[in-house]
């Protein structure tokens, strides 16, 4: 296939994958698409290890990283080095909830080390993100995507001078225009159906607005795409390709727990709700007893990012260790209804392209002269 996005990155098909899982990144790039590793929750050393593994397995195909750099950020103070200084109201609330549900506590002997290990992975301040960039620059990455803020012109130029493309994920036309002004190479227009942090404008309405707002910059369509029909719709609207996150979560290559995958296989579109319970910002996650508890009038207030992530960490570890499925709330979009079994990434891309081709043929035949 040939679009502005395939030309920009030297790939065969305009299918981009966001994933926290290195195996998904590698499989998508090897299949001719472009894998982008979500690097928001790694320490520098872990990121180095993941990128080295990718370099060893990706057979020279291009790949990128996605970093989280919010414009607004709660001051962290010393909480990163002292887990005991985290606010207690929210973690006590979750402790009571899980105690009452009979979810086993974390083993006392390992408790502090486990929490500390998780806290070290939250690297979202500007200086922390920049330090992750430095690590990533030691690897042959071809694109850096930022989701939560506008990069400085210097950052953009630094990447571009090394032949690295810069992408920005946005949910509003105004944000897309700011990113264009900062000099980014490609915009990812993410509709509210998407998994993870989302805005409020749905894909069908957002994509053409953003295409018009930033033309001639290439725009990738994100939010609610998991099949060839949706890919064809996005490209018919003028998108240069697609950017998917949720659809890879159920695959063999995804490192979600088997119980989390089961929750996804059972999930319906209406179960993928927006909740602030995970990070403090509205994010689409699977409804569970945990998200329902946060909606009760007696629940404590949500904290700003990244404190909410930090105070809910212990509960998430506990839920995962205890395999407490009813409390699992993995981030996922409304496309969850199309995640039904544990197929391979390669098969998924093949099926998507076959369905895409059928759609294009159907459209073409609909305007054939009689």
List residues near ligand FMN by CB under 6 A.
18, 38, 40, 66, 68, 147, 169, 190, 193-196, 222-225, 243-247, 331-333, 335
* Residue 18: its H or E element: strand 15-19
Report in angstroms how near the CB of residue 40 gets to ligand FMN at its nearest. 4
- Token pair, residue 202, equals 């749905």
Tell me whether residue 93 or residue 185 sits nearer to ligand FMN (CB atom).
185
Residue 226 makes CB contacts below 8 A (sequence gap 6+) with 244, 246, 247, 335, 338, 339, 352
**Cα Rg of the chain, angstroms:** 20
Report in angstroms how near the CB of residue 243 gets to ligand FMN at its nearest. 6
Spatial contact of 143 and 136, defined as CB atoms under 8 Å apart: no
Quickly tell me which residue has 């998508």 as its tokens: 28
Report in angstroms how near the CB of residue 19 gets to ligand FMN at its nearest. 8
CA dist., res. 53 & res. 316, Å (int): 27
- Give residue number: closest CB to ligand FMN: 245
- Token pair, residue 303, equals 């904290």
Spatial contact of 312 and 95, defined as CB atoms under 8 Å apart: no
- Token pair, residue 360, equals 């294009």
Tell me whether residue 149 or residue 196 sits nearer to ligand FMN (CB atom).
196
Spatial contact of 250 and 263, defined as CB atoms under 8 Å apart: no
Tell me whether residue 93 or residue 271 sits nearer to ligand FMN (CB atom).
271
Report in angstroms how near the CB of residue 245 gets to ligand FMN at its nearest. 2
Q: What is the dihedral of CA 212, 214, 219, 222, to 10 degrees?
A: -80
Closest to 221 measured CA to CA, from 170, 285, 269: 170
Tell me whether residue 6 or residue 203 sits nearer to ligand FMN (CB atom).
203
Report in angstroms how near the CB of residue 309 gets to ligand FMN at its nearest. 11
Tell me whether residue 40 or residue 280 sits nearer to ligand FMN (CB atom).
40
Report in angstroms how near the CB of residue 343 gets to ligand FMN at its nearest. 16
């Amino acid at each position: 296939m040939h679009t502005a996005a395939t030309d920009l990155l030297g790939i065969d098909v305009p299918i981009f994958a966001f994933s926290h899982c290195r195996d998904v990144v590698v499989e998508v790039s090897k299949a001719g698409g472009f894998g982008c590793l979500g690097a928001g929750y790694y320490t520098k050393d872990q990121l180095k290890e993941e990128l080295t593994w990718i370099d060893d397995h990706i057979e020279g195909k291009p790949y990128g990283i996605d970093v989280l750099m919010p414009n607004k950020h709660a001051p962290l103070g010393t909480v990163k080095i002292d887990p005991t200084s985290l606010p207690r109201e929210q973690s006590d609330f979750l402790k009571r909830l899980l105690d009452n549900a009979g979810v086993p506590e974390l083993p006392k002997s390992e408790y502090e080390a486990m929490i500390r290990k998780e806290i070290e992975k939250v690297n979202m301040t500007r200086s922390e993100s920049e330090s992750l960039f430095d690590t990533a620059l030691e690897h042959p990455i071809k694109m850096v995507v930022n989701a939560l803020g506008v990069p400085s012109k210097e950052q953009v130029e630094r990447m571009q001078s090394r032949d690295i493309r810069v992408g920005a994920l946005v949910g509003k036309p105004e944000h897309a225009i700011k990113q264009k002004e900062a000099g980014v190479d490609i915009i990812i227009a993410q509709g509210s159906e998407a998994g993870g942090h989302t805005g409020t404008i749905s894909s069908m309405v957002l994509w053409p607005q953003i295409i018009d707002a930033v033309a001639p910059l290439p725009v990738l369509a994100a939010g609610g795409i998991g099949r060839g029909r949706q890919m064809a719709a996005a490209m018919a609207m003028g998108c240069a390709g697609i950017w998917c996150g949720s659809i890879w979560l159920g695959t063999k290559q995804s490192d979600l727990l088997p119980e989390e995958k089961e929750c996804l296989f059972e999930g319906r579109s209406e179960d993928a709700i927006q909740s602030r319970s995970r990070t403090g910002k509205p994010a689409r996650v699977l409804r569970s007893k945990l998200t329902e508890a946060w909606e009760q009038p007696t629940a404590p207030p949500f904290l700003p990012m990244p404190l909410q992530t930090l105070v809910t960490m212990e509960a998430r570890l506990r839920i995962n260790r205890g395999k407490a499925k009813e409390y699992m709330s993995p981030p996922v979009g409304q496309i969850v209804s199309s995640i039904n079994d544990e197929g391979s990434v390669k098969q998924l891309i093949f099926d998507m392209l076959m369905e895409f081709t059928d759609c294009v043929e159907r459209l073409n035949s609909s305007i054939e002269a009689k």
